[in-house]
Structure 1
Amino acid sequence: MKELHKTSFWESLMIQKRVIGALLMREIITRYGRNNIGFLWLFVEPLLMTLLMVLMWKFFRADQVSDLNIVAFAVTGYPMMMMWRNASGRAIGSISANISLLYHRNVRVLDTIFARMLLEIAGATIAQIVLMGVLIAIRWIEMPADVFYMLLAWLLMAVFAVGLGLVICAVSVKFEFFGKLWGTLSFVMMPISGTFFFVHSLPQQVQEYALKIPMVHGTEMFRAGYFGSSAVTYENPWYLILCNLVLLLFGLAMVSKFSKGVEPQ
């Protein structure tokens, strides 16, 4: 009997893997097509956006206001912000775009949301690795001080993006106008996400409020891994983990509640 349950679990896991894989391929083909560079746009698009920001900071001589490498400062902030913003934004509309697939027994509402967010996270991750590799190769930035700490920060922020996306998707299903409003709200959140500042550079009375924002801890953690002891950071990984767990719990509960009323069309 135990062996039967074990086999059943692994079979379910393999089915889930195939479903997510198929949804990812469908999303890539739908968004990028089969011609030209096709799926390469998955990471070329965020790569170009990040490169544009880096070049602006580089050639506008922003490095004159700080002793730190301003290119490294930009590349350790902007891509991470793009990841959680794009992933949560793409979660909106994931159900309506794939609602006909819900006729298939193994496809669930949650699968369609996960597939879209995973695609955005994968694209941002590849873009970050490629861009940092190129910038290190041309000596615009130095090697990171602690690659493992950077990877941990990126992973925690990827989980944050998923949790946030689930909540945003559920709210937008309940209140349709919120889906249109989220693009503006997430844009407004950019300046307070830690992308363009170190917490240490803020006035002391403002630091307390900045550290209540989960994205700030992710960015500070990522930069702590890159700059090491040459920068003062105030990240708290445990606070970010707690925020992730809360978002995931609420997000999954909200999606589970509304998905029962979703009918394939």
Structure 2
Amino acid sequence: MPKPENTAGARTPWQVTRSVWYAMFMREAISRTMADRMGWFWMIFEPLAFTLIMVAIRGFIRGDRLIVGAEFIPWMIVGLMGFFMIREGMMRGLGAVDANSALFAYRQVQPVDPVLVRNFLEGMLRTFVFMLFIIGAEMLGVGLFPDNGLKGIFWWVSLWSLGLGLGLVISVAGTLVPEVGKIVRMINMPLLILSGVIFPLNQLPHWLLEYLMYNPIVHGLELLRSGFFEGYKVVHGTSATYFWLCTLITLALGLLMHVRFKERLKAK
């Protein structure tokens, strides 16, 4: 009569997945923060330098007069930080599969795992950098603390969710079709301009604004700013429903693509 199997030491699928994520998170965290001695410097200096350059340009053409209900510098910083959160979600997802291809030899590791881990780590790092900016701005007398903290936090996490969805989609498309990665890198700067990061879109002609409002990043940034500045007038047509519809579609599409092309991603 066969003896019953000893399952006392067996782990559940969730425990295995959690262990994989923890190991990959520590690997990515060390790589991002310690492998490059200039890593922390660039994470802080990039948005700071970009903000100073844009403030100088917009101040020269008197762009601060076009914003209703918010000071120009805090308005700019919030928009930049929100955009960088989404952008890094896309870019970190782009190379996640190829960078961790050797780990797919272990059956516990799936191609979606490094994408999820990288985006979670990036969200933590960007949140920390944003907090440093808020503290620094308050010390310099620039009001950057959110007027509605819960709303600000909610839309900050919402932008991270959109970046994750885009990262999931691009991680598959960019791995299977390398040209996709080149296109994504090329559209970074145009996307920053067309998302209302450095100038308010409500001053544009109505016929042009209608097309730009198809970009969900615009909606997310405007709603994030509304959480930071109580009297801020968001761009006409801003919709939380549209933003979350796009976010959920990208998340679902990205996960479905990972399920559908899992074996091809492993074979790359």
**TM-score normalised by the shorter chain: which range applies?**
0.7 to 0.9
TM-score normalised per structure 2: 0.84
2:196 is matched with: 194
In the alignment, structure 1 residue 177 sits paired with structure 2 residue 174: no
2:7 is matched with: none
Assess, with a 3 A threshold, how the Cα gap between structure 1 residues 70 and 108 changes in structure 2: closer, same or farther.
same
Summarize deviations over 1:5-58 as a string: whole Å, max 9, x none: xxxxx9433332221121122123334445858xxx35x533221111232344
1:15 is matched with: 16
1:237 to 232, 237, 240: 240
- Taking every aligned residue pair, what percent have the same amino acid on both sides? 24
2:6 is matched with: none
**Partner Cα distance (1:167, 1:50) in 2:** 26
**Partner Cα distance (2:183, 2:214) in 1:** 23
1:248 is matched with: 251
**Partner Cα distance (1:88, 1:255) in 2:** 15
- Structure 2 counterpart of 1:17, one-letter code: R
After TM superposition, the structure 1 = structure 2 runs for residues 23-172 of structure 1, keeping only pairs within 5 Å, are: 23-33=24-34, 41=39, 44-59=41-56, 62=59, 64-67=62-65, 68-172=70-174
Bigger-Rg structure (1/2): 2
Q: Is the 8 A contact 2:176 2:265 kept in 1?
A: no
Please report the RMSD computed on the Cα atoms of aligned residues, expressed in angstroms: 2.4
**Partner Cα distance (2:126, 2:57) in 1:** 25
- Structure 1 counterpart of 2:171, one-letter code: C
Q: Is the 8 A contact 1:57 1:70 kept in 2?
A: no
Q: More relative contact order in 1 or in 2 (CA 8 Å, sep 6+)? A: 2
**Partner Cα distance (1:13, 1:129) in 2:** 32
SS at match of 2:122: helix
**Partner Cα distance (2:162, 2:35) in 1:** 31
**Partner Cα distance (1:33, 1:84) in 2:** 23
- Structure 1 counterpart of 2:155, one-letter code: A
- Structure 2 counterpart of 1:92, one-letter code: L
Tell me the number of residue pairs that the alignment of Structure 1 and Structure 2 aligns: 252
**Deviation at 1:108?**
1.0
Assess, with a 3 A threshold, how the Cα gap between structure 1 residues 112 and 136 changes in structure 2: closer, same or farther.
same
**Partner Cα distance (2:199, 2:55) in 1:** 16
- Structure 2 counterpart of 1:53, one-letter code: F
**Deviation at 1:213?**
0.9
